């Protein structure tokens, strides 16, 4: 995939069009703009993560945290998409940016989804009840994104797989006491 | 501060020069380029964090984690610098980017520094010995950056202060068992 090799700023619409076998005009007509196209790629990454996540987002409570421990491996396999995600997110932090609403909604949805898995664990008596599931969901996503950024920057010095395991196992110990 | 109000892409050298009372030529002569100037601002943020961090980076072991629980408050006070940091970091993930070596070195140094505080806690018998301090240090910085990004994006929905407290308290419970 082009983004994975060159980063998104180096990726011209003409190259993208060639890669997917469409004309440049046809591709832009379909997505409206380069930014819309890039956001579609980011959204597709979430859809794919959710789909694997039969694996990740299916199981609830303790089992979710067991599966989450292995989540770093998938990120390593798809590093180029993770980099595109980071750049677009950083550019969209300001409310005036065109992709701002997309990312606000994306993170709200992800936090709610993770919180639901934790709440189910609380209701089944697998996880403690004295933590706020939304606060913990934000923390889980934060660790995931922050560690991915460190790994993208310096893969020789950061062990993404070990980091996810260590965090998820510690969290499971703490929340299931 | 200008960055805090407008984000860094909206900040022209002329505006920066006016803000600090120098000519544009004088400012560029001093720093060499706009990018060098922005990186100097990011580095200064770390220096300031370390200085407060008599508070944060002084104490070792359990006490470090107690202080870290309150770290979100300082980020809320200096949100504009955090945004500048996120944008420059995301742009510098690729090895070919001019600021790449700066960020690689910055994160290596921060991970080592946090790891030392954890090792001291292990040696004093305050923290368990069966975790890798460098892996845990990467996790601590990851949570901090990832949660800050969510908060910058959507301050109405993300409680940065509660997130730092919840994470640091859970980590302290887990590492001191």
* Close Cβ partners of B44 (under 8 Å, ≥ 6 residues apart): none
- pLDDT value, residue A4: 47
A61 by DSSP, 3-state: which?
helix
Q: Nearest by CB to A87, which of B90, B100, B154?
A: B90
Could you tell me if B73 and B147 are in contact, meaning their C-beta atoms sit under 8 angstroms apart?
no
Backbone angles phi, psi at A124, to 5 degrees: -85, 0
Mean pLDDT of chain A: 83
Tell me the per-residue pLDDT of B52-111, one tens digit each, with 9 for 90 and over: 655 556 677 888 888 888 888 888 887 777 888 898 899 899 898 888 999 999 999 999
Which candidate in A3, A112, A146 is best for mutational testing of the B interface (most B CBs within 10 A)? A146
Of A139-143, A145-149, B84-88, B121-125, the poorest mean pLDDT is in B84-88
CA atoms of A51 and B86, how far apart (whole Å): 29
pTM, to two decimals? 0.84
Distance from CA of B35 to the nearest CA of A (A): 16
Q: Which residues of B touch A158 (CB under 8 A)?
A: 138
* Complex-level ipTM: 0.84
Of A93, A137, A94, A86, the residue nearest A115 (C-alpha): A137
pLDDT per position as a tens digit, A68-112: 888 888 888 877 778 888 988 998 998 988 889 999 999 999 999
In whole angstroms, give the CA distance from residue A152 to residue B95. Answer: 10
| Residue whose tokens read 């969901």 | A137
End-to-end CA, chain A: 44
| Whole-number percent of chain A with pLDDT over 70 | 82
Distance, in Å, from the CA atom of A44 to the CA atom of A109, rounded to the nearest integer, reads: 15
Q: Report how many helices (DSSP H) and strands (DSSP E) chain A contains, helices first.
A: 11, 0
């Amino acid at each position: 995939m082009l983004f994975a090799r060159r980063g998104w700023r180096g990726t011209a619409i003409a190259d993208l069009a060639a890669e997917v076998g469409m004309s440049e005009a046809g591709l832009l007509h379909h997505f409206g703009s380069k930014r819309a196209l890039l956001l579609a790629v980011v959204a597709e990454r979430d859809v794919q993560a959710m789909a694997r996540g039969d694996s990740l987002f299916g199981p609830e409570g303790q089992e979710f945290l067991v599966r989450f421990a292995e989540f770093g491996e998938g990120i390593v396999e798809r590093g180029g998409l993770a980099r595109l995600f980071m750049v677009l997110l950083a550019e969209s932090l300001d409310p005036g940016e065109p992709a701002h609403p997309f990312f606000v909604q994306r993170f709200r949805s992800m936090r709610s989804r993770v919180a639901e898995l934790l709440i189910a664990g609380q209701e089944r008596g697998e996880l403690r009840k004295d933590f706020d599931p939304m606060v913990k969901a934000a923390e889980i996503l934060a660790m995931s994104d922050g560690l991915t950024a460190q790994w993208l920057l310096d893969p020789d010095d950061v062990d993404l797989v070990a980091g996810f395991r260590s965090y998820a196992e510690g969290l499971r110990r703490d929340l299931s006491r």
